[in-house]
Amino acid sequence: MATELAESYFPSPQLTPRDGDLFNIDAALTEEERAVRDSVRRFVDERVLPIIGKYYVDGKFPKELIPEMGELGFFGANLPEEYGCAGLNNVSYGLIMQELERGDSGIRSFASVQGALVMYPIYAFGSEEQKRHWLPRMAKGEVIGCFGLTEPDYGSNPAGMITRARKQQDGSWVLNGAKMWITNGSTAHVAVVWAKTEDDDDSGRSIRGFVVPTDTPGFTARDQKGKLSLRASDTSELVLQDVKLPAEAILPNSGGLKSPLMCLTQARYGISWGALGAAIACFEEATSYAKNRVMFDKPIGAFQIQQVRLAEMLTEITKGQLLSLHLGRCKDLGTFTPTMVSLAKRNNVNIATDIAREARRLLGGNGILAEYASMRHMANLESVYTYEGTHDVHSLVLGQAITGFNAFK
């Protein structure tokens, strides 16, 4: 009986683990989940890895990949098929994020924003009309979205938001404000912008979401220059100056800070998987290098110092995978909590930054070159460490959950 029970936990116990899957994580994935993962892995190997180094150095997002990503169903993959999405479970969705970020954090960020920060709020807070209008075209990648929440002086404290939406006599809206650190900001066709309405009572309950076509007069986006991280991703400042929107632009079921925070929870869930992808890329690169690079007449992988490095990487990746997997199963059941997501995002990004750094170091001088992936990931992950709730913010989220005390202020 014990065996039967374990089998139900492990849809694929018979599986010979893939090379490198030393903790037999694959046994806990369904055949479908593995198939999804493998198809994204192939896409990344064939389409992303050959070009990403150059795009990164040039500071450009590889837009040419968007249609194919859409076709393969990477955008909003956990949303229902009736809106043109793939309708996958959350573990499959996570595995997509993992594999995309094995390519580059910028690629995964693109998909995260599109799916979790634009399609998701339209799905969760939008009218049926909004859903039917936007979701299928966004799933295909024909329409690109961005998410306007963060403001220059309120990075970790969205409640401080200054952007305002004034309701006009005729029910239409006028938006004014500025947003910063907006992924896809300058490429997007549509922005989900969060603003305070005038009935603001400081409770934060008046925060509402608006669907803003980016060609609306008064809406401008400007790329942020001089990034030393996420260079293969567009990051913009948005300015909204008297942007007039029709009454129907509002997301009718949004209300309060809770709505954008729900989006962030979706995105963070994906990040917890994505960071593992970056870590896996670095671990695999380091392992391969260690097996082949000879120094003092031996492959460096035969030296204890490098073995300790690799052992640490493997251990941390394994634990991160189990965190995200458990989280995904809970998410499918509706029993996951923001605290759980904080724990997984915080941990997985943090270990990924360490793994990327150690991989780069194992690579020696070659480790600073864009033809290898580790230093690119190392640099990217610093953004991921900071965005969607900095590491420190999540420490305090956990601290509050544990002690009951708020230590943010």
List the catalytic residues. Answer: 388
Q: Dihedrals φ, ψ of 274, to 5°?
A: -60, -45
Instruction: For residue 216, state whether it binds a copy of itself (rule: CB under 8 A).
Output: no
Q: How far apart are CA 34 and CA 95, in angstroms?
A: 8
Instruction: For residue 52, state whether it binds a copy of itself (rule: CB under 8 A).
Output: no
Instruction: For residue 323, state whether it binds a copy of itself (rule: CB under 8 A).
Output: yes
Residue from 221, 268, 336, 349 binding a copy of itself (CB under 8 A): 336
Nearest one of 177, 254, 156, 166 to 210, comparing CA atoms? 254
* Residues in the chain, total: 409
b/e burial code for range 226-243 (CB count within 10 A of at least 16 → b): eeebbbbbbbbbbebeeb
| Range in contact with a copy of itself (rule: CB under 8 A) among 83-91, 138-146, 241-249, 262-270 | 83-91
Q: How far apart are CA 57 and CA 110, in angstroms?
A: 18
Instruction: For residue 109, state whether it binds a copy of itself (rule: CB under 8 A).
Output: no
Binders of a copy of itself among 223-242, rule CB under 8 A?
224, 226-230
Instruction: For residue 50, state whether it binds a copy of itself (rule: CB under 8 A).
Output: no
Q: Which two tokens stand for residue 21?
A: 């899957």
The answer to whether the beta carbons of residues 87 and 81 sit under 8 Å apart is yes
Residue from 70, 234, 375, 389 binding a copy of itself (CB under 8 A): 375
Considering the complex, state which of residue 254 and residue 272 has its C-beta at the smaller distance from a copy of itself: 272
| Range in contact with a copy of itself (rule: CB under 8 A) among 116-124, 215-223, 272-280, 320-328 | 320-328
Instruction: For residue 200, state whether it binds a copy of itself (rule: CB under 8 A).
Output: no
Residue from 49, 153, 218, 244 binding a copy of itself (CB under 8 A): 153
Considering the complex, state which of residue 277 and residue 367 has its C-beta at the smaller distance from a copy of itself: 367
Instruction: For residue 254, state whether it binds a copy of itself (rule: CB under 8 A).
Output: no
Residue from 39, 172, 223, 303 binding a copy of itself (CB under 8 A): 303
Instruction: For residue 89, state whether it binds a copy of itself (rule: CB under 8 A).
Output: yes
Q: How far apart are CA 297 and CA 294, in angstroms?
A: 6
Considering the complex, state which of residue 249 and residue 343 has its C-beta at the smaller distance from a copy of itself: 343
* DSSP string for residues in 10-24: -S-TTPPPPTT-TT-
Considering the complex, state which of residue 63 and residue 408 has its C-beta at the smaller distance from a copy of itself: 408
Token pair 């650190």 in the structure block, residue: 181
Instruction: For residue 80, state whether it binds a copy of itself (rule: CB under 8 A).
Output: no
Q: Which two tokens stand for residue 98?
A: 């993992």
Q: CA quadruple 109, 111, 112, 114: dihedral positive or negative?
A: positive
